[in-house]
Every structure is written in C-alpha cells, then in structure tokens.
Structure 1
Amino acid sequence: MSLRTLRLASRAALAAMAAALFVATPTHAQTVTGSGSTLVQPLLNRWNQDNLRSQWTAESQPSGGLDYEASGSMAGVMRIKDRAVDFGASEVPLSPEEAKQYGVAQFPIVVGGVAAAVNLPGVSQGALKLSGELIADIYLGKVKTWSDPAIKALNPDLALPADEIRPVRRSDGSGTTFAFTSYLAKISEGWKTVGAGQTVEWPVGRPARGNGGVAEMISRTPNSIGYLDLATARKAGLTVASLKNAAGAFVAPSAEGFQAAAANAPWNAANDFGVSLVDAPGAAAYPIVVTTFALVPDARPVATGTAAALAFFNWGFERGDSVAAELGYVPLPPETVEKIRGYWRDKLGAEPTLEPQAG
C-alpha cells in the first residue's frame, strides 16, 4: 500500500468517526484545538490517547486528535472568545449573559476536586486535618509555623515540625485558584478582604505556573503547602490533607467525596449548566469540588472544528468514564449527559448519535 493510500485511509477513518457521532456540518479528519484548565488536562490527554488508539485498524492509522494547551482557565476563556481554538475549558462557569456576550455555548465535561497538598515527611495521606479558616490564616500570613496552636488543636496526635510554613500558589489566572479562593472566602471572614477569583492579591505565597508547576514546587520545598487538582497531586506522589466540610467532617479528596458533593447538582441547560459545588452539603462531601466546563462557539451551522470538538467530548462521555474514575475525577451522570446532548441539538443544531462509536 502506498503512503498516499495510507494517508487517505487515515483521513477517512477519522472522518467516519465524526460522521458516526454527529449529524452536523460535514467534517474531515483534523486536529481539535483546545486551551484552558490545567485541572482537566490529565483527563483530556488520556481521552485523546485512548480515542486515537481505538482508531487503529489493519489498514489505517489515526490522524487528527487533540492539541490541548493547559494555559489556565482565564486564558482558555479568552482564547475561545477570540476564536483562536476550537474549544476552551474552565472551572469558572460563565453566566448566561457572559456566554451570550462571548458568543459561546457552555456545558460540563467532568467533576473534579482541588486538594491541599503538603511536603511534610512522616505525615500519611489524609492524616493532616485542616479547616478553611486555618488554610486562610496560613495564606494570610497569620499562621506561620507547623507547630502553631491552631494546627495542633486539629492534629493533636501528629508529630509536626516547628518549621516555617511555605505556602505555594498559582501565578496564572486559574479555575483551580477560583475554586480554592471561593472556599476560603465562603468559610473565612478574614479572607473576604482578599476575595475569590482566578487571580487574587495573595498576602503570602511562592508563585508557580499551572498545577504541574505547583506540584513541582511543593515536591522540592520542604514544609510547603499548596493547592492543585487531585490527579496531578497523585501523579507527583504528594501527600494531601483532609479538609473540614460544611457538615463539620474532615474528608480527604477522593472520587467518592467529589461524587457526594455533586450528587444533587442542579444541572440546567437553561442557564448553560452554571453550577457551583464548593462547600456543598453532606457528611461525605469533599468541600472543594469543581466542574470543568467546555466552551464552544455558539453558531449555526456548527463549524468543522466545533463539530470535531463535540465528537471528541461525545466519545469521552461514551467511553471515558472508567479513565476519569481511575484518575480521580467523577464522570457526569447519564441523565446529565443526555441533557448536554439535548443542549447541543437545541442550541447548536448538532445531532449526536446515542450509540457509542465502534472501535
């Protein structure tokens, strides 16, 4: 078989995949471009790998795939607003007014959580207990050492050092930062002066770019504490703390804790699915749970890149649940996925098949 024939077969394979998933503007094999959230990057990378792997046949090889830039939620929103990518990804839900202003459709991809990770030798996973008030005081510069009485009061049985606490925080505009600071602002009166946002004026903290940068800095900085997504924390082998939730229980970050927080989420297509899961009620709920949203151009007929992006997410909804759970995320409930598909039909005129793609 000639190289030209191989290339043609490759292109035909991916075009057939997109056609099988959607009845929309015809599309051909191409790279889907995305930008934004670092929290969801591990999942998107795995979905892309598994998606491409499923296309291999005896006579063709995959082409196209996903080119995703983990630039932070703020940058992702700006890049889709400027139509520089096929989709943006963010943990900061747009209001219906903002979505209309930017000309985008918004829908959830997956549920995840933000962990507080530490570099404290001898402390096991989940053993360190921290409250929102205490974390806020650390980042306000009020609690300066691991031997502070406020930390001792929550951890009487832990042998903690008298060393200075070294907080780490994000330097870029971030949905992870938005979720973390939203939790602090909701719990701590003192933090309300700083507020919640993708970027804030941090009283203290060593800056690092992206969740990967935070993980790296925590790993090489003894006595440090920082915040990042659970998947990245696990990959880096970091120790995570148990956080105090709305019911007063201390819960370590896990898919079960994220699921408990999202159990009664009022997903609604009428408001473009904008929901906050921070400090949700429930004894088993982890307190810093977030939804990653995808943003695509709101235009009919859908552009080729938009159709390919929707096909990618539809593949993830159909075949990516086990990978999401493996990495520490919570897949969306089937009824929510059906709401999203209905949203695609009504808002974008994109008709997804309800059958999974043949591998």
Structure 2
Amino acid sequence: MITRNSLFLPLALLLTPVISHADIQGSGSSAAAPLYQKWADAYSKNGGPTIAYQASGSSAGIKKIKENTVEFGASDAAMSQAELKKEKLIQFPSAISGVVPVINLPGIKTADLRLTGEVLASIFSGDITVWNDAAITALNPGLRLPNKNIEVIVRQEGSGTTYNFSDYLSKVSKNWQTKFGKGLTIVWNTRLTQVKGSSNIASTVKKTPYSISYIDYNYVSQEKLDFALLQNRDGKFIAPSAEAFSSALTNSSWKTDANFEEMLTDKPGAKSWPITMGTFIVMQQRAKDVQQTTATMQFFTWAFMRGDRYVNSVDFVRLPDSLQARIFKEMTTVTDKKGEVLNWNLRTDMHAKN
C-alpha cells in the first residue's frame, strides 16, 4: 500500500480542498469490472462521489476516453507510448490477473486436464477438433478423454482478454502467429461460438458440455468454472493463482523500469502463470473539466492507498508499493487546459473511515 511518506508531495497538494460530490464516468474492460465496481461501492459508502462504470470491453473503453466522453477508460491491453503521446493520454495499471483456459468436460475434474500452449493454439485455431485427439491424450495419459467434438467459445467484441490470450498463443505457436497473430479482436473460424463479455463467456461454458473457452481469473473463481493446468515457460504444469501472477510480474521489467507496455505473458519462473496480464486505467492528460478530473484522480488515489483489501476480494492481485509510487508520479503530469499541473488532494482519510 502506498504511504504518504513514500511520495514527495508539494504542500499545495495536501492543502487542496476536497472536491464536492460528482458523478465520475468510466468505461471499458469487462474483466476488471468487478474490481472497479467494488472500489466504487466502497468509496461512495465512505463519502466519495458516485462512480458509474460501464463494462463495455477494452476497445470501447479506449474509444470513449479518446473521444473524451468519460473520465477514464479501462483496458486489459496497454496502449503504446507512441499512441498515448499522439492522443495526449496517460496510462497506469490498477492490478494484475491472468487469462485462464476453462472447460466443461463431463467426467473430468478441475485441474485434472493438462494443456500446453501449442495444443491450446491448435484447439482455438480449429486444427484440433475432438477431445481425445492424440496431442491431448499424450499430455493426459491417466484421463479417459471422450470422443466428442470440442465446442470452442470465444469473445466476439474487442477485448483485452483476447489481446493477452492471442499474444500468448503467438509466442508459443508459429502457426497461430502466422494465421491469427495478436489483437483485441481475432478473425475466428466461423464454426466457433462467439459471445460478448466475460459474463456471457462464463454462462455459455456452464451450459455447453464439452466446451472450452478463455476468461479472466476472477470469473473462474467467482463462477466456479473448471480450468485446465497450463504448461509454463519452465515446463511446469501449474494452476492459476495470485502467487503465479505475482511470479510473472516479478520476472518482468515492470518493477525495475515501469515498462507497463511489456506483456506479462510467457514469463520465466517455475511458478509463473503463462497468461498473466495487467489491467489499465487511461485518462486524458489535459483535463476538459478540472473538477471531474480531480475527482477521478482522488478516487484512484483512495483506491491505491485504502482499497488494497478489495483487490484481493475480487481475485485480482494488488500492485507492489514501488509500482504504486511510479503511478502517482504519472498522475501528477495531468494538467488543465492552460498546461498548469492540477492540485489534487491526497488526504484520502477524509474519504475513507474504514
């Protein structure tokens, strides 16, 4: 958790009066929606303004913040520094999580099935179509895999989850990289079932026997979805967990260089989850409405300083203190229309009693 002593703050920031109640509009990642909604509920109950967040998908969130129609956008795919500079935006991570292959395979318990990245790529590209395919059987000699078609369920709209999933498959499968590559959207095989939103992925998998999909870890936990073990870069078959996501983060340059553009997929480490991802907040660097922008930064300040416990409660992983300090530095670059740096209050105890 960030502490006041960990930051150098001009006196003016500490003396700035708290902004009065105002609705703050956010839009984007459906994967991270439970986190932002949890933060928003707690913040409002402790005297903060109302936060209205629309789980519209990462592509929609980026589009709306570019259009300046919301106070913040949310995406599970980091924008490049070049695009941020062009669009006059700032970006910072809010938490980390992971993408998980989930299954509905009658007779097979959660974490019993083992998959490699190469086999996963072959399933989602349509090259492997039945559960007892030789490639899957070879990885699972002790399982009685059914001679049933694999019902593949994928995201239809632009999604940061898809971006991270396809980035990973591009790293582990040359065939996938050549045919599909990575992106917020993928031109899926027409025989695959396409649905919108993480919630719909979860419900469709539950009601579709012999299905497989990919979804964010918090939905796996909360919806009690069965998942497959995945082989990581070190050759270990592991389950998704907070420890596994943290291991991938530790083996990246996020901590040392604050290089948030770096993907957290396919990182080394015996305990690293192969499809770890960050989720990000994107804001205008030059405020259209100083009061609204100030209120938004106060909200995220509170979230980092007082909201750590809520991160774990919705199955995300909090950012290390050193990263949070770097995020505050990025937030202090926001200005008004004249280019003057905004003065915003960091005395979050005025908003939070618990």
| Range into which the TM-score falls when normalised by the shorter chain | 0.7 to 0.9
Q: Residue 323 of structure 2 aligns with which residue?
A: 336
Deviations 1:70-110 (A, max 9, x none): 11111100000001111000111111110011121111111
Answering whether residue 128 of structure 2 is matched by residue 135 of structure 1, we say: no
Relative to 1, partners in 2 of residues 1:234 and 1:90: Cα closer, same or farther, differing over 3 Å? same
Q: Residue 298 of structure 1 aligns with which residue?
A: 285
Relative to 1, partners in 2 of residues 1:223 and 1:24: Cα closer, same or farther, differing over 3 Å? farther
- Output the amino acid matched with 2:346: T
* C-alpha displacement of 1:237: 1.7
Q: Residue 207 of structure 1 aligns with which residue?
A: 194
Q: What is the aligned-residue RMSD (CA, Å)?
A: 2.3
Higher mean C-alpha displacement, 222-231 vs 310-319: 310-319
* C-alpha displacement of 1:269: 11
SS in 2 for 1:198: coil
Q: Residue 157 of structure 1 aligns with which residue?
A: 142
Stretches of structure 2 that go unaligned for 5 or more consecutive residues are 1-11, 336-340
**CA–CA separation in structure 2 for the residues paired with 1:22 and 1:304:** 16
Contact 1:96 1:271 in 2 (8 A): no
* C-alpha displacement of 1:189: 1.2
Residue from 287, 294, 311 that aligns with 1:307: 294
* C-alpha displacement of 1:169: 0.3
**CA–CA separation in structure 1 for the residues paired with 2:281 and 2:17:** 20
SS in 2 for 1:337: helix
**CA–CA separation in structure 2 for the residues paired with 1:173 and 1:35:** 13
Higher mean C-alpha displacement, 73-82 vs 120-129: 120-129
- Output the amino acid matched with 2:239: A
SS in 2 for 1:178: helix
* C-alpha displacement of 1:157: 1.2
**CA–CA separation in structure 1 for the residues paired with 2:152 and 2:113:** 16
Contact 1:108 1:294 in 2 (8 A): yes
Aligned length: 333
Deviations 1:230-276 (A, max 9, x none): 11122222101111111111111111111111114323898873221
**CA–CA separation in structure 2 for the residues paired with 1:308 and 1:138:** 46
Q: Residue 83 of structure 1 aligns with which residue?
A: 68
Answering whether residue 29 of structure 2 is matched by residue 42 of structure 1, we say: no
Matched-pair identity in %: 35
Contact 1:170 1:209 in 2 (8 A): yes
**CA–CA separation in structure 2 for the residues paired with 1:307 and 1:91:** 24
After superposition, residues 318-357 of structure 1 pair within 5 angstroms as 318-348=305-335, 349-350=341-342, 351=344, 353=346, 356=349, 357=351
- Output the amino acid matched with 2:43: N
- Output the amino acid matched with 2:30: T
Deviations 1:124-150 (A, max 9, x none): 222211111101111121111111111
Answering whether residue 115 of structure 2 is matched by residue 123 of structure 1, we say: no
Deviations 1:159-193 (A, max 9, x none): 22111100000000000000000011110111012
Answering whether residue 109 of structure 2 is matched by residue 109 of structure 1, we say: no
Relative to 1, partners in 2 of residues 1:221 and 1:300: Cα closer, same or farther, differing over 3 Å? closer
After superposition, residues 152-191 of structure 1 pair within 5 angstroms as 152-191=137-176
**CA–CA separation in structure 1 for the residues paired with 2:345 and 2:245:** 28
Contact 1:24 1:307 in 2 (8 A): no
After superposition, residues 237-252 of structure 1 pair within 5 angstroms as 237-252=224-239
**CA–CA separation in structure 1 for the residues paired with 2:299 and 2:14:** 10
- Output the amino acid matched with 1:277: L
Stretches of structure 1 that go unaligned for 5 or more consecutive residues are 1-19, 56-61
Residue from 14, 25, 29 that aligns with 2:21: 29
Relative to 1, partners in 2 of residues 1:21 and 1:50: Cα closer, same or farther, differing over 3 Å? farther
After superposition, residues 48-87 of structure 1 pair within 5 angstroms as 48-55=40-47, 64-87=49-72
Q: Residue 196 of structure 1 aligns with which residue?
A: 182
Contact 2:306 2:352 in 1 (8 A): no
Answering whether residue 211 of structure 2 is matched by residue 224 of structure 1, we say: yes
Q: Residue 82 of structure 2 aligns with which residue?
A: 97
SS in 2 for 1:109: strand
Contact 1:25 1:303 in 2 (8 A): no
**CA–CA separation in structure 2 for the residues paired with 1:278 and 1:299:** 32
SS in 2 for 1:292: strand
SS in 1 for 2:266: coil
Q: Residue 3 of structure 1 aligns with which residue?
A: none
Contact 1:24 1:301 in 2 (8 A): no
